């Protein structure tokens, strides 16, 4: 123990091995506050070589390692368990943008660079790094990669795994795999990059990445649309795809309950429409400087939608400030839910064709489990992804906590019955690892275990996350 701490201090410097409870506190509890763990130490290496030295020392003493980025995860994947036996390996000091190559369309970054800083570096080079999340001001790209993060740009640009070309990874034995290739095409064997993306630190520690950049889309046409139902929203999605084609970049949904919370708790939030609606859609078209017809396209698609009855009203942003205000309604939801009291989060995907029926059936089903429970539903219709969150009945937080297991089981069972996914974009972490395994086939769980065993035979990398103990 003392020997390991000495090795860690030698590896990264005394100042970067934290053991005092006050120093360690912020690293051992997750953003939701539901995972409170303990750690042997928090280590903050400043380079790939230092990460390798830390992992090697931990491997030699058979000490579990929990890699951590911005600690904004929602499933307890980045914080240690309560045993106090693990070292938290924080990548937060590795913040260099190593290279931007606008012609190749690549940016090479340290794992600890904050997502918003990656976006800004791309913009300075006249390019777009499209990933966009509520937590983009504090989450790190390494965490985004480790969890295969989603966000509001998935509809057009895909998940994180579609935005990465190469990785640098410290393996469980402390060796460094240099896969930092910025090549768009490299068909020379198994795709190790994609194996590490989404593995949540259970196969190694991502220390650097080459990411894809895209043509900038300086032009936007944005509308906040009242829609009568989820079915109408899905139908509107088809209309938007037909009119918008490649320009359709955003298609987000939120229910009235979610927007009421935003209007109540987010300073400055204003309802852009005169009458309340059961559901809303945020739709955006994005294009290059030469795409001058986006506003007309948006107006024509909304005209068709109103005529078809899939939209009842809409507010179109007339300025960048108005666009920001519409986006704030959508992006404020996650934060304001916390203010409102106890919440229970679910991040699910349904086949888009089943989205409406599923949502329709789920509401009454949950009222049976806990009368008065308030679904705060929002998400990414274009991806079939709902953040199907629940707020407690007004003033009855304890009832929600008591019914949490039953509510989650009801939701997951319905997701599984519809061939959906119980984690669309948040990963499994410690919260969902066992549940996910229980809904998967034995064959699939065996495959995951075989991969874990092959790359981390000692089982020291983020134990308990993703692959549940046998």
Quote the least distance from Cβ 401 to its own copies, whole Å: 25
- How far from 265 is each of 261, 278, 326, CA to CA, in Å? 6, 19, 16
Quote the least distance from Cβ 212 to its own copies, whole Å: 9
Q: Which is nearer to its own copies, 195 or 342 (CB)?
A: 195
- Whether 149 and 132 have beta carbons less than 8 Å apart is answered as no
Q: Which is nearer to its own copies, 86 or 170 (CB)?
A: 170
- Whether 108 and 125 have beta carbons less than 8 Å apart is answered as no
Residue 386 φ/ψ region, left for φ over 0, alpha for ψ in the -120 to 50 degree band, beta for the rest = beta
Q: Which is nearer to its own copies, 6 or 186 (CB)?
A: 186
Quote the least distance from Cβ 17 to its own copies, whole Å: 27
The beta-strand segments (E) located in 112-270 are 127-128, 164-170, 176-179, 205-212, 214-215, 219-227, 248-255
**Among 205, 64, 65, 216, CA closest to 140:** 205
Quote the least distance from Cβ 340 to its own copies, whole Å: 26
Q: Which is nearer to its own copies, 203 or 333 (CB)?
A: 203
Q: Which is nearer to its own copies, 192 or 328 (CB)?
A: 192
Strand partners, 220: 286
Separation CA 252–CA 137 (nearest Å): 20
Separation CA 285–CA 250 (nearest Å): 7
Separation CA 93–CA 49 (nearest Å): 13
Quote the least distance from Cβ 282 to its own copies, whole Å: 18
Q: Which is nearer to its own copies, 23 or 446 (CB)?
A: 446
- Quote helix, strand, coil % in the chain, to nearest 5: 40, 20, 40
Q: Which is nearer to its own copies, 319 or 441 (CB)?
A: 441
Quote the least distance from Cβ 177 to its own copies, whole Å: 5
Separation CA 108–CA 173 (nearest Å): 24
Quote the least distance from Cβ 429 to its own copies, whole Å: 10
Separation CA 148–CA 161 (nearest Å): 6
Q: Which is nearer to its own copies, 407 or 448 (CB)?
A: 448
Burial of 152 (0-12, 13-18, 19+ CB in 10 A): buried
Quote the least distance from Cβ 95 to its own copies, whole Å: 24
């Amino acid at each position: 123990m003392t020997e390991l701490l000495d090795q860690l201090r030698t590896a990264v410097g005394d100042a970067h091995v934290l053991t005092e409870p006050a120093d360690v506190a912020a690293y051992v509890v997750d953003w939701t506050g539901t995972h409170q763990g303990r750690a042997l130490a928090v280590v903050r290496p400043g380079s790939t070589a230092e990460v390798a030295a830390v992992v090697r020392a931990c491997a030699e003493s058979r000490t579990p390692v929990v890699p951590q980025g911005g600690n904004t995860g929602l499933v307890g994947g980045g914080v240690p368990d309560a045993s106090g036996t693990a070292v938290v390996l924080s990548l937060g000091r590795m913040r260099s943008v190593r290279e931007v190559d606008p012609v190749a369309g690549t940016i090479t970054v340290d794992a600890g660079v904050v997502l918003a800083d990656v976006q800004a570096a791309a913009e300075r080079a006249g390019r777009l790094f499209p990933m966009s999340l509520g937590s983009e001001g504090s989450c790190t790209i390494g965490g985004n990669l480790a969890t295969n993060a989603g966000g509001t740009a998935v509809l057009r640009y895909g998940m994180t795994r579609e935005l990465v070309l190469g990785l640098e990874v410290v393996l469980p034995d402390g060796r460094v795999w240099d896969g930092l290739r910025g090549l768009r095409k490299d068909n020379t064997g198994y795709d190790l990059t994609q194996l590490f993306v989404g593995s949540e630190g259970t196969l190694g520690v991502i220390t650097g990445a080459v990411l894809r950049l895209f043509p900038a889309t300086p032009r936007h046409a944005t509308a906040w649309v009242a829609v009568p139902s989820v079915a109408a929203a899905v139908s509107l999605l088809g209309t938007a795809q037909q009119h918008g084609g490649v320009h359709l970049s955003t298609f987000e949904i939120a229910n009235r309950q979610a927007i009421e919370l935003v209007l109540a708790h987010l300073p400055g939030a204003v309802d852009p429409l005169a009458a309340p609606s059961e559901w809303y859609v945020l739709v955006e078209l994005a294009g290059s400087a030469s795409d001058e017809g986006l506003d007309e396209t948006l107006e024509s698609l909304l005209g068709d939608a109103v005529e078809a009855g899939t939209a009842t009203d809409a507010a179109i942003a007339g300025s960048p400030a108005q666009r920001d205000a519409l986006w704030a309604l959508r992006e404020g939801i996650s934060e304001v839910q916390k203010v409102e009291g106890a919440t229970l989060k679910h991040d699910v995907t349904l086949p888009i064709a089943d989205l409406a029926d599923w949502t329709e059936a789920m509401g009454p089903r949950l009222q049976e489990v806990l009368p008065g429970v308030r679904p705060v539903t929002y998400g990414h219709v274009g991806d079939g992804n709902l953040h199907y969150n629940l707020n407690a009945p007004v003033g009855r937080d304890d009832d929600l906590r008591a019914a949490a297991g039953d509510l989650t089981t009801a939701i997951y069972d319905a997701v599984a019955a519809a061939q959906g996914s119980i984690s669309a974009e948040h990963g499994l972490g410690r919260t969902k690892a066992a549940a996910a395994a229980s809904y998967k086939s034995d064959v699939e769980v065996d495959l995951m275990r075989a991969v874990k065993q092959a790359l981390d035979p000692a089982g020291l990398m983020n134990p308990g996350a993703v692959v549940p103990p046998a």
